[in-house]
Amino acid sequence: MNGDKLMEVIDLSVSYGPIQALKGVSLAINKGEIVALLGANGAGKTTLLQTISGLLKPTGGSIIYQGVNIAGMEAEKVVEKHLVHVPEHRQVFSTMTVLDNLYLGAYHHRKKSKMKNIEKNIGKVFDLFPILKDRKNQLGGTMSGGQQQMLAIARGVMAEPELLLLDEPSLGLAPLIAKDVLELVRNLRAEFGTTVLLIEQNVTASLKVADRGYVISHGEIVKSGSSKELLNDPEVKEAYLGHTVN
């Protein structure tokens, strides 16, 4: 972490018809950080990521990314700014090979002048995800759940993100595979310098990976702190870690 602010969400509100899903959410992410977003199902975590990435339009507030307000910007334009969202449920292109999925991830950098860089990134991705190199000609839809999740993350990395939004990367995976996937988040920062905003069902595991965290409840940020502070917080323990506090 170098303390340089990469993104600041300011008083962000989002509504689904009459239902207000986000109610004045504010948070900040510094360059090089891994930040965990914690909360129960329906708290607004996925809504926040979808709004940051341009999939949903806010009803109020700002998203300042690299000094520019991207609130309401089209998702395609957001990706061009190297802000990439890997949604839950993997969503790989099942009838395309692993290699073609990766090339598609680099779609916005496909000009011939950057082909050498794309090939270099594929090499780095294969170093980080050796199983994908072994299966580069396999159809995405024939891979295991864990392998598909690795492919989804790797495809996101091919877009050269400055900020990567990861929504439930270990969802539905066996514990050992889930642990490997979360360890890859650390490796992404080490190898690519990627900043990460992470939603993860396993709160303990996500805080062990992250530097800091925010807790969202009913569309509002209710708590924030370092990972150590949140892991030791009695309210967080009781609500999310299965520990009853006397």
Q: What is the pLDDT along the chain (246 residues), one digit of tens a residue?
A: 456 999 999 999 999 999 999 999 999 999 999 999 999 989 999 999 999 999 999 999 999 999 999 999 999 999 989 999 998 776 788 899 999 999 888 876 665 547 777 888 899 889 888 899 999 999 988 988 888 888 999 999 898 899 999 998 887 778 888 888 888 888 888 888 899 999 988 889 899 999 999 999 999 999 999 999 999 999 998 887 754 333
In the prediction, which pLDDT does 90 show?
A: 65
Q: Where are the domains of the chain?
A: 5-91+160-240
pLDDT at 243: 46
Rg (CA), the chain: 18
d(CA 4, CA 22): 26
Q: Would the pTM count as exceeding 0.85?
A: yes
Phi, psi at 185, each rounded to 5°: -60, -45
> Residue 13: phi, psi to the nearest 5?
-125, 140
Write out the DSSP string of 20-54. EEEEEEEEEEETT-EEEEE--TTSSHHHHHHHHTT
- In the prediction, which pLDDT does 109 show? 64
Using the CB atoms, write b or e for 86-125: b if 16+ within 10 Å.
bbbebebbeeebbbbbbbebbebbeeeeeeeebeebbeeb
CATH of the domain spanning 5-91+160-240 = 3.40.50.300
Is the separation of the CB atoms in 223 and 214 below 8 Å?
yes
Sign of CA dihedral 127, 143, 181, 223: positive
What secondary structure letter does DSSP report for 142?
Answer: G
